[in-house]
Amino acid sequence: MDNIDKQIAEKVMGWEAPELHGFWWDETNYKFEKPVCKDGKNPLNAWRPSTNIAHAFEVVEKMKESGWYLNGLHALEGHDVDWEAVFERNGDIEFADADTPAMAICLAALACMEA
């Protein structure tokens, strides 16, 4: 699991590190539905929001619980990076740019957690 995915799992999703159990655990200490690898073996099935847009939108949904809403996901033209994600909460704005929309969402979500 990439470091950014681990940070998202812990800081945004509120899950405990899988190194302890082999599965992500939520705040109620129940085993979360998504093991690190869904089939226990194949790393291609791992939860990776930084590279999988469907997983990134799970992050977007989780951010709503703390009042952050995805206000924009924009393709950028003529820049060094290709995508910008913007979250907003009560007039506060956090954003991040990245090469992919999934990574932009993840970086912006982490910026919100640090705000």
Domain residue limits, the chain: 3-114
Q: Where are the beta strands (DSSP E) in 36-115?
A: 69-75, 83-89, 92-98
Amino acid at 112: C
Give 23's strand partners: 35
Its pTM stands at 0.79
Cα 104 from Cα 110, distance rounded (Å): 10
For 4-49, how does the pLDDT look when each residue is reduced to its tens digit (9 = 90+)?
988 998 899 887 665 555 555 555 554 444 444 444 444 445 778 9
| Average confidence score pLDDT of the chain | 81
Specify the CATH architecture of the domain 3-114.
2-Layer Sandwich (3.30)
CA distance 75 to 41: 35
> At which residue do the structure tokens 């690898």 appear?
37
